[in-house]
Amino acid sequence: MLQTLQVLSILFCAIGMGLALAHALEFPGKRRLDGATYRKIQTIYYPGFTLGGFFGEPLAIVAIVALLFVMPFGTVAFWLTTIALVSMLMAHGIYWMVTHPVNKVWLKDERLHGTGAAFFATGRAAAEADWTTLRDRWEMSHVARAACGLVGLFALAAAAVRPM
Q: Which residues of 141-160 are buried (b: 16+ CB within 10 A; e: fewer)?
A: bbbbbbbbbbbbbbbbbebb
Where is 96: in which H helix or E strand?
Answer: none
The whole-model pTM stands at 0.91
Cα distance between residue 29 and residue 33, in whole Å: 8
What digits encode the pLDDT tens for the residues 5-33? Answer: 999 999 999 999 999 999 999 999 999 99
Q: How far apart are CA 90 and CA 98, in angstroms?
A: 12
Task: Give the Cα separation of 64 and 84 in Å (integer).
Answer: 8
Q: How many CB atoms lie within 10 A of CB 135?
A: 21
Residues 68-110: tens digit of each pLDDT? 999 999 999 999 999 999 999 999 999 999 999 998 888 888 7
Residue 157 pLDDT level (bands cut at 50, 70, 90): very high
Out of 4-8, 38-42, 85-89, 118-122, least confident range: 118-122
